[in-house]
Structure 1
């Protein structure tokens, strides 16, 4: 069973991620990409990743700005799955 992270675990997990903030309820990151097309491409790649992980972020697209929100809804907050998803999102955005 997946367990919620406590505040200390979350803080340690966030230190290894680029631009992610949040609390035990949800973590989030906003990123600006060069164009709307680049934003859509990133969302498509992240969607494929989310399907493979069977863990899906909430994504808000505003022109070339993407806002990601991660929480394990079945658990009611942030778990290690969210930190792993955030790290994978970072890798896709860095490519």
Structure 2
């Protein structure tokens, strides 16, 4: 099987297959989204700091909205115009980060 170019758009079946392993994420149009509720504002910022480290490693960055203890993540590959393997890989890494913080709610 040929290796995927990280900028190739995933088709609908590939997106749905990836979401099977990412139950907290949902597809909205050409994006993947996830909401997280932390214990408080400092906890939300700690999560965001750890997310930033993972995003830098991939050189792929989420759109993030922070509202006190709530984080809203949106992933899409703007250069490709939709969801790519970079987005699903970043979502997997963000799940690890989020899971490493205690008292986080979906």
TM-score, normalised to structure 2's length? 0.86
Q: In structure 2, how many angstroms separate the alpha carbons of the residues matched to 1:15 and 1:73?
A: 23
Q: Which has the larger radius of gyration?
A: 2
Runs of 4+ aligned structure 1 residues displaced above 6 Å come to none
Give unmatched runs, 5+ long, in structure 2. Answer: 101-106
Q: Does residue 80 in structure 1 map to residue 81 in structure 2?
A: no
2:103 equivalent in structure 1? none
Residue 70 (structure 1) aligned to one of 58, 75, 83 = 75
Give unmatched runs, 5+ long, in structure 1. Answer: none
1:27 equivalent in structure 2? 32
The alignment yields a C-alpha RMSD, in angstroms, of 1.0
Tell me the SS of whatever aligns to 1:4.
coil
> Which structure is higher in helix share?
1
Tell me the SS of whatever aligns to 1:73.
coil
| Count of aligned residue pairs for this structure pair | 95
